[in-house]
Amino acid sequence: MTTKLPVTVPWMTQASMFVRLLAIQASWNYEGMLGNGIAFCMEPALRLLPGGVDGVEYRAALGRQSQYFNANPYLASVAVGALVRAELEHEEPERIARFRKALCGPLGSVGDRLVWAALLPTCALAALAVFGWGGGAMATVVTFLGFYNAINLALRAWGLRVGLRTGIQVAHSLGTRFVRHGPRLLGSLALLLAGFGLPLVVQRIVQPGVALLGGTLAVIVVGGVLLARLHGRVEGWKVALVAQVALILLWAVK
């Protein structure tokens, strides 16, 4: 299945695509979404098409690839790689269009579940646990950025490589164990970290006011359960902001 590309993508070109991937969302908007970003990231490799930057094929490919696309920004690397391969192998434009469309859904839902709904909150909870344990600024920040970006960068690099290697057959490779079972694994870790870290964080922040611990705990549990019950119809941070501003005004005026 993974035959050699008719044109090899030089190392420097791949590096340039990788750097561009970090800015893939720079022109994100509600109509084309990631579309322009996809073309932007593919551009260095499309120069390898016959005729180079002045060729008809280069312009046709860039034009096609800049249209609507939607996916998780990290896993969009898979699309960038796979679409480059499809273009360099001169796939039919009609087939490329179907391929692009079919990529959006899986790369969106797999990526969002893995990155936004698992990796990010897990890393944040790990950092909070370190803070609650008594960690300083450096330890807390390094835990968070190190944990998060090791996976973030590896995911993007892996996606680009796997896409370039497999092209339209990329689905096989998306089924790696980490991608499929990562959300559940990270979720289990996050729940442990949340349970462990939250009491310690409360203790560290509230320290000078231990006398009020009972009331604080009551508000946390009752408020937390209420907000969870509302199923996302209300955003907790907005409710909290309104409550805070009201109390500040009350105490400032009094």
Closest approach of another protein to the CB of residue 93, in Å: 12
DSSP state of 234: S
Q: Is 208 an interacting residue with respect to another protein (CB under 8 A)?
A: yes
Closest approach of another protein to the CB of residue 126, in Å: 10
> Which residue among 88, 148, 158, 159 contacts another protein (CB under 8 A)?
148
In the numeric block, which tokens belong to residue 154?
């590896």
Nearer to another protein, 11 or 30 (CB): 30
What is the pattern of x (binds another protein, CB under 8 A) and - over residues 1-20? --------------------
Cβ neighbours of residue 120 closer than 8 Å, sequence gap 6 or more = 148
Nearer to another protein, 90 or 181 (CB): 181
Closest approach of another protein to the CB of residue 55, in Å: 10
Contacts with another protein in 72-131 (CB under 8 A)?
A: 72-73, 98-99, 101-106, 108-110, 112-113, 116-117, 120-121, 123-125, 127-128, 131
Name the phi and psi angles at 129, rounded to 5.
-65, -40
Instruction: Give helix 93-111 / helix 56-65 axis angle, nearest 10°.
Output: 40
Contact 79, 107 (CB under 8 A): yes
> Which residue among 17, 45, 155, 190 contacts another protein (CB under 8 A)?
190
> Which residue among 7, 141, 161, 178 contacts another protein (CB under 8 A)?
141
Q: Alpha helix locations (H) across 47-113?
A: 56-65, 76-88, 93-111
Contacts with another protein in 214-243 (CB under 8 A)?
A: 215-216, 219-228, 231-233, 235-241, 243
69 bridge partner residues? 33
Closest approach of another protein to the CB of residue 56, in Å: 9
Q: Is 209 an interacting residue with respect to another protein (CB under 8 A)?
A: yes
Cβ neighbours of residue 96 closer than 8 Å, sequence gap 6 or more = 64, 83, 86, 87
> Which residue among 7, 13, 32, 178 contacts another protein (CB under 8 A)?
32
The residue range among 7-15, 83-91, 157-165, 196-204 that interacts with another protein, by the rule CB under 8 A, is 196-204
Task: Region of 191 please: left (phi>0), alpha (psi -120 to 50) or beta.
Answer: alpha
Instruction: Give the span between the Cα atoms of 22 and 121, in whole angstroms.
Output: 20
